[in-house]
Amino acid sequence: MSTLMRLFLSLTMNNITDRVFRYIEENDMVHVGDQVVVGVSGGADSLCLLFLLWKYQRFLCGKNNDRKSFALKVIHIHHGIRGESADGDAVFVENFCRERHIECITIRKNIPEIAKQRHETVEEAGRRERYSSFMSALDGEGRKVIAVAHHMDDQAETVVHNLLRGTGIRGLCGMRAVDSYEEALLIRPLLCFRRSEIEDFLSQEGLSFRTDETNADTDYSRNRIRHNIIPECSHVNQRSTEHIGEAADRLSRVWDFLIMSAGECYNKYVTDNGAAGEERELRIDGSIFSNEHIAVVEEVLRLTVKNMTGKLKDITAEHLSAIERLYMGQSGKSIDLPYRLKITKNYEEVIFTMREDTHERVRELKNAGKNPEKALNGWRLKTWVFDLEPGKELDYPKDFYTKWFDYDKIKGNVVLRGRGPGDRITLNVGTQKLQDFFTNQKIPANKRDDYMIVSLKSGSDVIWVVGDDISRISENYKVTPETKKVLEAKLVKDDLQGEKKMNVNIRTMITEEQVDTRIAEIAAQISEDYAGQEVTLVCILKGSVFYTCELAKRITVPVRVEFMRCSSYGNSTNSSGEVKVTLDMDEPLEGKNIIVVEDIIDTGRTLSYLLTLLKTRNPASLKLTTLLDKPDRRVVHVDVDYVGFVIPDEFVVGYGLDYAQDYRNLPYIGVVE
């Protein structure tokens, strides 16, 4: 290398050091007296971050005559994934720190095992464990600071990744130079640098680093963006990475202004009754919808949800739109959101309250035997089919015991059984014998009979293997962008199986008196809404007969009753997904006030189909009432005008509801235990 080139690189590298120091100070990242934890893998990015923070620590010591600075601690996580290579990373980081008298803590975690236990991806589990370790290490005095090595290329990848997955303004802001994590400050001192600058700097300083071979694995979406999409962007504009980062920075300023405006509007339009827990109630003055910009309104709604539940993860733009539509509709109506949140329109207000607690349907699989009959052991498979809307973002089920499959790829019926000889499953590495799959997953031989197998009725092709720590589907049947119909399969515990049904215990959920009172209230409301008019109740057989009869007796305006039977279930538990009208009405509906009467609404698929069908018959009005509503099971949105009771996702019987045609005659609503 020529003398001139050495001089140029030296000036450039010194400039990088100065830039980092200036970036730290401009963004108020580190103070004297802080305790700073750095996550160091041994790769170029984290090693560069540690080296520069170490230099900045020494710089502050020289700058302050009393030699005050900040405490610096390194955390290295051994993920238990890459064997000897990972062992080498740990030794490398420990030696680097020892040479510079930096405290270093190596923490060993079996991330794949942790991921299985939590039903998370390895990436999710790894990140959770890293940050948990960072927080545990921050046990001294002073501000708690976590330093991470994200750089400008990471920023571009993050923005593109968020954009492709679907995001709002916050996702397009990418990562911030300074953020918060629990009670700590999260800083990114390298966010102003390109990856190439970091590697050049390390080379100039004579510092080697470790390389993680999994970074080249394009099976990970972030790696595909890094190795495929970002380079293509550079062909369009060589500075595309910088431009994406600059756009994210500008959007961050827009986001800050939006959040500030939303906070002011929240204080103006939202009132809190001051109660705690289940009794808390937040009320939004409806004038916000006409007085404020929609962008501000949506953030106020989001902030209200967060203040009510403490969570926002599963709240989508569609949920916010549903709240807006609710306000534009009839007073007294309500909708249900995740986290047991109930939203009610009350004249010129929107009220946020919490629903009664629900009970998880997912239970551990226990005591399954090798015999297929025993393998069911109280579990049953529910399936249904639905069409995918073109261009709509897929909301894959998060339930461990629920999966989606490409329906058109499945030839024949699917069955639930135990493992059998010759079973094979196709993974992204190819087709494996099921016994080899269990071996690779380190499932003990004496535990393998505890796993459920979903397969075609004939043959050994495994579609889904599921147990208490693994839920894996075949690559051959996965939903893809070309999928038109989806088969949703759900494993549910059936406590009635193998028992004499009439001898089981039934716990009362809603008493006979409560049912009678509520039906009378609904009838009074219908009578008021249709004063001076005639209504036609369309009873959906069979379960709604009880509710229809009691409702009709209490309505004070003229009433006609018609009957329909439609179902998507081939037997009592398995849905075919194809809604069929097996009994239709004799009388035309044109010009009539129709109220469809249901006993219970869960997924909403059948009712959505039926209401669409009835609209084509030109009624004067079309409304829906149900005695029971299970919003936690909802898949298709259905507007319900008159609701008897909102219930948790439990198996209920009585008042027309049955199990295998039993229990319809109970005068109350009960839960089978």
Question: CA distances (Å), 234 to each of 173, 497, 590, in order?
Answer: 20, 61, 62
Amino acid identity at 52: L
Q: How far apart are CA 575 and CA 488, in angstroms?
A: 10
Catalytic residues: 602
- Work out the angle at residue 201's Cα, subtended by the Cα atoms of residues 197 and 204, and round it to the nearest 5 degrees: 140
The encoded tokens of residue 76 equal 């290295």
Q: How far apart are CA 117 and CA 470, in angstroms?
A: 9
Q: How far apart are CA 315 and CA 340, in angstroms?
A: 12
Q: How far apart are CA 130 and CA 186, in angstroms?
A: 13
If you search the block for the tokens 């989001």, which residue do you land on?
Answer: 302
550 near 359, Cβ under 8 Å?
no
Q: 7-25 as b/e, with b when 16 or more CB fall inside 10 Å? A: eeeeeebeebbeebbebbe
- Work out the angle at residue 598's Cα, subtended by the Cα atoms of residues 592 and 600, and round it to the nearest 5 degrees: 155
Residue 153: closest CA among 255, 226, 88: 226
Q: How far apart are CA 200 and CA 581, in angstroms?
A: 70
312 near 358, Cβ under 8 Å?
no
Distance between terminal CA atoms of the chain? 80
Pairing outcome for strands 559-569 and 575-583: antiparallel
Residue 106: closest CA among 84, 126, 79, 128: 79
- Quick one: which H or E segment has residue 668? none
53 near 36, Cβ under 8 Å?
yes
Residue 386: which region, alpha, beta or left (left: phi > 0; alpha: psi -120 to 50)? beta
CB proximity list for 304: less than 8 A, separation 6 or greater: 266, 270, 282, 284, 352
Half-sphere exposure of 276 (CA within 13 A, CB side): 0
Residue 449: closest CA among 427, 414, 420: 420
**Phi/psi at 175 (nearest 5 deg)?**
-100, 150
Question: CA distances (Å), 80 to each of 91, 109, 489, in order?
Answer: 14, 6, 33
Q: How far apart are CA 487 and CA 404, in angstroms?
A: 6
27 near 62, Cβ under 8 Å?
no
Residue 102: closest CA among 93, 111, 110: 93
